[in-house]
Structure 1
Amino acid sequence: MSQDWAEQRTEAARVHAERLQARQNAEHAQAEQLLRAFAEAAAQHGLDAEELRVKGYGGGGTVRTALRGWYLRQDRSAGVSTAGDFYVLTAPLGLLDRVRGVRPEPSRPPLVLGAGGRDGDSIDLPEALERLLPGWRDR
């Protein structure tokens, strides 16, 4: 009897994990589509891109990257490249990083930037994009 219960709980946990993963994949796909559309609209409407820099953990300065794009958060901890890729722009930085710069890898974007952080630290991705180029979806 207890083995049946344990098997049922294990199966329920597996199904729950699969559903959660599917929901997260759908949210990432939606966010990726938004960022690609935004990058196209920004290019068409002449929104100036800037060099994206990576910040060190704990306020340890910034370093160069080869990326150009737009910062999505006020604290410059996330950005979108001109190609529509999402980047987390914080990392542990060493001395060589400061001299050479860094090459961040694109990440799967969330629909809510800073979700789970302190109150007031999160922003919906569409709202962040709207701040950069008001009315971009309607143009």
Structure 2
Amino acid sequence: MDRENDLVGGDWTDERSRIVAAQAAAAERAAAKEAAQAQVLIDAFVAEAARRGIEPHPLLAPGKDLRRRRYRTGLVGWYLSRDERVAVDTDGRYYVLRAQGTLRERLTGAQVEPMDPPLVVGRGARDGESIDLQRLLNRRLGDPE
């Protein structure tokens, strides 16, 4: 009888592992599809900003400290959000700008890595803190919402 329970438990564990793996693969495919759709929007924004003569600027990363210091990143592009934490560089890469505020960053600049862009910026944040990427890009171009 114990052997029967062990087999049933083992089968259940294997099945659960397969389900979890399938769900993870589906979530990864959905995230890749969303990032591809968002990248099309960003590429169109970069082209339109250049066409309109909206000049890119050096992007600075806000620090975690309370002194509101900003750190060089070596990137050039456009801030998308009012708080200047979300940006796109001239190559169309999407960034959430953050710096730790270390002495090294003060001396050499912050290293920030591009991220896969979302279709909804700030998803999962408090009410009023998320916005559709297209709306954010239009706002940055100065188009009416």
More relative contact order in 1 or in 2 (CA 8 Å, sep 6+)?
A: 1
Q: Cα RMSD over matched residues? A: 1.8
- Structure 2 unaligned regions, length at least 5: 1-7
What's the counterpart of residue 51 of structure 1?
A: 58
SS class of match (1:57): coil
Q: Using the TM superposition, give the Cα deviation of residue 134 of structure 1 relative to its aligned residue in structure 2, in angstroms.
A: 4.3
- Structure 1 unaligned regions, length at least 5: none
Query: What amino acid does structure 2 have at the position aligned with 1:84?
Result: G
Distance 2:40 2:112 in 1: 20
Query: What amino acid does structure 2 have at the position aligned with 1:43?
Result: A
Q: 2:34 aligns with which of 20, 23, 27?
A: 27
Query: What amino acid does structure 2 have at the position aligned with 1:30?
Result: Q
SS class of match (1:105): coil
Distance 1:124 1:57 in 2: 26
Alignment of 1:106-125 (within 5 A): 106-125=114-133
Distance 1:87 1:14 in 2: 29
SS class of match (2:62): strand
**TM-score, length-scaled by structure 2:** 0.84
Query: What amino acid does structure 1 have at the position aligned with 2:91?
Result: A
Query: What amino acid does structure 2 have at the position aligned with 1:71?
Result: Y
What's the counterpart of residue 11 of structure 1?
A: 18
Distance 1:105 1:74 in 2: 20
* Pair member with larger Rg: 2
Distance 2:55 2:82 in 1: 17
Could you report, residue by residue, the CA deviation over 1:9-38 in whole angstroms, capped at 9, with x for unpaired residues? 221111111101100011111112211121
Q: Does 1:41 pair with 2:48? A: yes
What's the counterpart of residue 76 of structure 1?
A: 84
Moved more, 84-93 or 94-103: 94-103
Distance 1:6 1:65 in 2: 47
Identity of aligned residues (%): 39
**TM-score, length-scaled by structure 1:** 0.87
Q: How many residues align?
A: 136
What's the counterpart of residue 3 of structure 2?
A: none
Moved more, 95-104 or 19-28: 95-104
